[in-house]
Structure 1
Amino acid sequence: MTRRASFTISRSSKKSASTMHELEDQHLLVTRARYERERKARQDAERLLEEKSRQLIEAEKQRSSFLAMLSHELKTPLNGVVGAAQILDGLIAGLAHAHVDTILQSSTSLNAQIDSLLTLAELYAGDISIENEPVLVPELLEQVGEALRPMALVKDITLRITCDKELQRPVLSDRKRLRQILTALVSNAVKTTPSGIVGIAARRSEEGISVLVSSSGAVAEQKTKSFGRPAPDRYAGHTPYDDAEVTLPILRETVALLGGEIITSESLLGGTCFTVVLPVEFCALAHEVPKGTAARRNRPMRVLLVDDNKINRMMAHHAVTSANMSCIEAVNGAEALERLDEDEFDLVLMDIQMPVMTGDEAIRRIRMMQAPYRDIPIIVVTAHAGREGPDSFRDIGADYTLEKPILFSRLISCIKEVTKKPVAA
């Protein structure tokens, strides 16, 4: 009986051990299966994340390309309108002259709205960069004043611009953003002022520079309500809105990007006074060395104009020749390189978006050429917008960047700046 019980216990122990091994094997299989499911889920999640990231990067590229294309397609014809109006402005008088002023005023307003919409799109996408370069504040204020003067004259408004002598030194700032700020301030003052005076004063401050724009326009309280960023669906439907709802929020955020602030108060003229305070660094005064071969020859400056658009070439050609300079044209970067090989030039005006060879590629190749053209001054004149900016063009060898549409006086001023040579106004 005892032996039988022992045998039964032994068989039971072996069965229990076998069952335990089976359970362990099953547990191991279950664990491995769960691990494989989790591993596959992680891989699927990683692939999905990579695909979403790729789609976002591609969407960002498409958005940037779309903004660049939109800017180019809008500003290229606008450049022709502004150029033709400037040519007519010097040929006619009387009532027709007033109509030309209206064209210039409307063109300036349209260009400002295009810039505002493009900047607003960049703000919503969080894709605004700051590109600092030396900027002469008095020169920039004069450019803004000249662009907005036709709008002011229609309303019998006088623009008064004053600058401290200390601002004769260049400051390090983003030229494009600074121009947007000044344009928004002055245009808003002109629009809200029935008639009279709009004063623009720039001075050096402890923080850097301060720009005051005062007028007899709307009181400060009314305008400060418009400083919040508009909601994306604000413009859906047909609800009327004031363009200040676009320009003032962009102004506030652009000032913030530059590390500055806006102070609003009532002006002595009984209206609004906007004060923009910006932290900037003042550049050292560098010794001016004449650039280009014309500085060493007693002859008119020779300009190589490179643009694939016939109307743009016509307008720039008129501006250059009216300033007693000679102008030779090329329709793309490859033709520009051929012209440089065949003739002698002192300056290149270069468009960017062109067939056969783009302007940026042409600039790179020019900077790789043998003297004297390796160091020839190059001004980029473009309607191209997006990630590319003055810094990117300067990095490949450009001396200056002008955005279309261009004012003839601004183009001539820029030519004088980069060549350090007197040019007829």
Structure 2
Amino acid sequence: MFLEKYTNWQFNTLSPSDLEEFEAERLSFQTRAIVFALKIGIIMMPLLTISDIVALKDILTPNGWMSYLGGLMSFEFMFLLSHSQISKLISQSQRISSLKAWITLAVLTLTVMQYVTAFMAKHYGAELSMIALAISYFNLSFMLNAKERLYYNIICLAFFFLGYLTIFPKEHILLDTMLVAVGLSVTLYFAGDIIYKLQLEKFAQNRLLLNQTKEQNVQLKRAIRNQKDILEVLCNEMGVSTEALNFDNPDALGYQTKALLLRFAEYKQQILESKERYQDLFMNMNDGVAILSEKGAIKEANDTFLDILGINRDEMTTFDLGRLVHPEDREHSNHHLKKLLTDGFYKNYVGRVIRGDGEVRYLEVSSTAIVENGEFKGSRDIIRDITHRKLAEQALEEARNAEKQFLSTMSHEIRTPLNAIIGITHLLYDTHPNTQQVEYFDILKNSSQFLLNLITDLLDFAKMDAGKITAHPKDFDLKGLLKTIQQTFQMKVTPKGLDVDFMADMRMDQFYHGDETLIYQVLFNLLGNADKFTEKGKIGLKVKILERSEEDTLFEFQVFDTGMGIPADKIDLIFNKFTQIHDKNKIKTPGTGLGLSICKQIVEFLGGTIWVESIEGKGTKFFFTLRLPKAVASNGLAIEEPLALTETKKASEPSSVLEGFKILLVEDNELNRKYATTLLKKWKIDYDMAFDGAEACQKALDKKYDLILMDIQMPIMDGYEATIKITNTENPNKNTPIVALTASALVTQKDKALECGMSDYLSKPFTPVQLKSVLSKFAIM
């Protein structure tokens, strides 16, 4: 059935590699057949020789005997020589070449033919000897192709006629016998051609299934020789059980073969469609995809891959991808190649390539190794062009740096004169002003404080927006912190006629562990916001414990007021940046619209939640939760006091602590020098002045000081450089404490001050109390 289905198979469409494989199989069969014939010949030769001599003793003429014996010796020699050569090839596991094959076959055939023909002629006549010739020819000719068969035919006939004419007497030579021999040879030549083509056609049938399965990347382990083999192969490749198949019934076997071939065709079509879908997806992906060899050569790639790298498809297979890698990224790239070999993959490696046109592109690369039988055979790579994203990130980073630099410059340029304004205002209060002057001083102080708050809000917002917020948790006095805030706002709102209501849960301990500064900032901002929008009634704070355990406590803080409230349609906007929901003309002290946004970011950074409830015209309540661990210290003696209380306590210390204290003041701004020196004189402190860092270094060589107050931004030499020089050279003040006077509120500059060798820092603008607190700290050390 199968042979009938493929009777019209055009085997000339076989590829050269298929034909080479067919020739290899044929020559292998020839080798086995010849070896078998040689073994039979070794056994039969003595018997045939004796038989021939007996059979021909009465027929051959004296000349015939000479020819016969000469031919016999020649054939024997060629026979033994062929046997020796073939045995040597077999021992070396080699096949006999086509030329050696048909020569050897001819020798064997003629050797056997001499004996058989002579024997048949003696006993049965010359005509039957032709039949022996045909049988000998037919048994071997089917193993030869057309060219080999032609040579074989000519040699056989030539030797036959030569032997026939020389061995037998003339009375035994018949013309019709010779014609019969020629006719049989021609007939058998074409019969051999038919057999050869049938063999090739059978091979083509097998190759059909082999090619079909190769499309599925499957290699068959054996040749297909019959329908049973076809069924077994099909079942194996399609995952069908062979138990239900009937191999004994030829008709059933045929139907089963047809059915499975039909299913196999459908299966093949599905494979083909799947391959087409994969190819379409592969070629149209937005990402570049390629398959690389073990040496990094491109074996296959989609258009996106080639477009990203600027490679022409014609040069794809010979293109060296390594030369595209940016020189600065080669080490990083080699690291990921090693990772591919050891781990079998890497993901999202970002590197740069330089295209042939000189354009630099940023790529995100992922790669998976192709491993066969434990050996690395290449990789599947996916690349994504992220140049626009990377350039946008760089532009954003540059913008952030520019913003940071702008804020730092603005902070310095505003805080420096503001320090003098606030400082001089504080000094004016000590000049015994009259009531009208005090009112003016209050306006000046409040306006300066508003400007300072504005700068602080902007800096806080910039810091949080850039993700630079950091927490510094420590044990602190929560009750003391709440008391300080209460006292601050009591003094602030009393002139307005407002009441301040503070209530704390009785179960609250005094000491907890957390960032006191950030908690203070949230409470201060929320209460300041309540004060701003409340003209009558009260503002207040309630602290409630929601959960309590041996390790920590969950608090709910509520800041409330009886002010104007928030419109219901705007309550969702309350925490947005730069958002002010009330008319600025109705507010006496408008702000930046950042305070509540900053509170939200701080609370969420600390792991809490913040929300608001409000009724327009009746007031607002802000809630936030915080979970605070208990203090590490076992008693209050190890806990630092709140900052405001500490400053108040130190400010109230007698001035005698500072009397005789020797200070070097390094400040380039004349107003700030005037402010600071006025305070130093008031506290009876001995001081010298320097106008820049270079002068400070010179004075540090001449005199020993107890403390150096160092401005940061100065001409000629800044405070950082001066500090490094003083602390790293031999001079009387190598170990003298240096306190930075910085007009920048950026944490990075404060950290830099400490890193370069400064002992502490004091931000401008500073109050007399703050300056005295710092001086007292080092005076009593």
Task: Give TM-score scaled by structure 2 length.
Answer: 0.41
> How many residue pairs get matched?
383
User: Which residue does 2:690 correspond to in 1?
Assistant: 330
User: Which residue does 1:5 correspond to in 2?
Assistant: none
Shift of the alpha carbon at 1:201?
8.6
The DSSP-based 3-state class of the residue aligned with 1:101 is helix
User: Which residue does 1:252 correspond to in 2?
Assistant: 600
User: Which residue does 1:46 correspond to in 2?
Assistant: 362
- In structure 2, relative to structure 1, the CA distance for the partners of 1:36 and 1:377 (3 Å cut) is same
User: Which residue does 1:110 correspond to in 2?
Assistant: 451
What is the letter of the counterpart of residue 114 of structure 1? I
Whole-Å Cα distance in 1 between the matches of residues 544 and 762 of structure 2? 25
The DSSP-based 3-state class of the residue aligned with 1:45 is strand
1:135/1:170 contact within 8 Å kept: yes
Higher alpha-carbon deviation: 191-200 or 405-414: 191-200
The DSSP-based 3-state class of the residue aligned with 2:470 is coil
Whole-Å Cα distance in 1 between the matches of residues 441 and 492 of structure 2? 11
What is the letter of the counterpart of residue 420 of structure 2? G
Pair 1:243-2:603 in alignment = no
Whole-Å Cα distance in 2 between the matches of residues 258 and 279 of structure 1? 10
User: Which residue does 1:343 correspond to in 2?
Assistant: 703
Whole-Å Cα distance in 2 between the matches of residues 414 and 127 of structure 1? 30
1:302/1:345 contact within 8 Å kept: yes
State how 1:97-246 maps to structure 2 within 5 Å. Answer: 97-124=438-465, 126-130=466-470, 132=472, 152=493, 155-156=496-497, 173=515, 175=517, 177=518, 180-194=521-535, 206-207=552-553, 215-217=561-563, 225=572, 227-230=574-577, 243=591, 245-246=593-594
Whole-Å Cα distance in 1 between the matches of residues 554 and 749 of structure 2? 24
Shift of the alpha carbon at 1:251?
1.6
Task: Give TM-score scaled by structure 1 length.
Answer: 0.69
Shift of the alpha carbon at 1:114?
1.6
In structure 1, list runs of 5 or more residues that go unmatched.
1-8, 14-26, 289-296
Shift of the alpha carbon at 1:100?
0.8
State how 1:274-293 maps to structure 2 within 5 Å. Answer: 274=622, 277=626, 279=628
CA deviation string 1:164-189 (max 9, x = no partner): 9976x8966384x5564344233223
User: Which residue does 1:358 correspond to in 2?
Assistant: 718
Whole-Å Cα distance in 1 between the matches of residues 690 and 501 of structure 2? 41
Whole-Å Cα distance in 2 between the matches of residues 161 and 420 of structure 1? 36
Higher alpha-carbon deviation: 279-288 or 83-92: 279-288
Shift of the alpha carbon at 1:368?
2.5
- In structure 2, relative to structure 1, the CA distance for the partners of 1:133 and 1:371 (3 Å cut) is farther
- In structure 2, relative to structure 1, the CA distance for the partners of 1:373 and 1:253 (3 Å cut) is same
2:658/2:684 contact within 8 Å kept: no
2:514/2:628 contact within 8 Å kept: no
User: Which residue does 1:82 correspond to in 2?
Assistant: 422
Shift of the alpha carbon at 1:410?
1.8
Whole-Å Cα distance in 2 between the matches of residues 335 and 154 of structure 1? 48
What is the letter of the counterpart of residue 409 of structure 1? V
Shift of the alpha carbon at 1:253?
0.9
The DSSP-based 3-state class of the residue aligned with 2:748 is coil
- In structure 2, relative to structure 1, the CA distance for the partners of 1:139 and 1:348 (3 Å cut) is farther
State how 1:397-416 maps to structure 2 within 5 Å. Answer: 397-416=757-776
What is the letter of the counterpart of residue 338 of structure 1? Q
Whole-Å Cα distance in 2 between the matches of residues 420 and 202 of structure 1? 37
Whole-Å Cα distance in 2 between the matches of residues 329 and 369 of structure 1? 21
- In structure 2, relative to structure 1, the CA distance for the partners of 1:393 and 1:262 (3 Å cut) is farther
Whole-Å Cα distance in 2 between the matches of residues 356 and 108 of structure 1? 32
Shift of the alpha carbon at 1:112?
0.9
2:658/2:683 contact within 8 Å kept: no
Pair 1:94-2:435 in alignment = yes
What is the letter of the counterpart of residue 435 of structure 2? G
Higher alpha-carbon deviation: 100-109 or 155-164: 155-164
Pair 1:31-2:314 in alignment = yes
1:377/1:419 contact within 8 Å kept: no
What is the letter of the counterpart of residue 173 of structure 1? D
2:700/2:732 contact within 8 Å kept: no
Shift of the alpha carbon at 1:312?
1.3
Whole-Å Cα distance in 1 between the matches of residues 421 and 687 of structure 2? 21
Percent identity, please.
24
Shift of the alpha carbon at 1:406?
1.2
CA deviation string 1:39-94 (max 9, x = no partner): 97953323956766654444333222111111111211221211121111222131
What is the letter of the counterpart of residue 90 of structure 1? D
User: Which residue does 1:22 correspond to in 2?
Assistant: none
CA deviation string 1:224-248 (max 9, x = no partner): 65542237xx68xx99796373211
Whole-Å Cα distance in 2 between the matches of residues 336 and 142 of structure 1? 42
Pair 1:64-2:412 in alignment = no
Determine which structure has greater relative contact order: mean sequence separation of CA pairs < 8 Å that are 6+ residues apart, divided by chain length.
Answer: 1
The DSSP-based 3-state class of the residue aligned with 1:62 is helix
Whole-Å Cα distance in 1 between the matches of residues 675 and 487 of structure 2? 18
Whole-Å Cα distance in 2 between the matches of residues 257 and 356 of structure 1? 41
The DSSP-based 3-state class of the residue aligned with 1:373 is coil
User: Which residue does 1:23 correspond to in 2?
Assistant: none
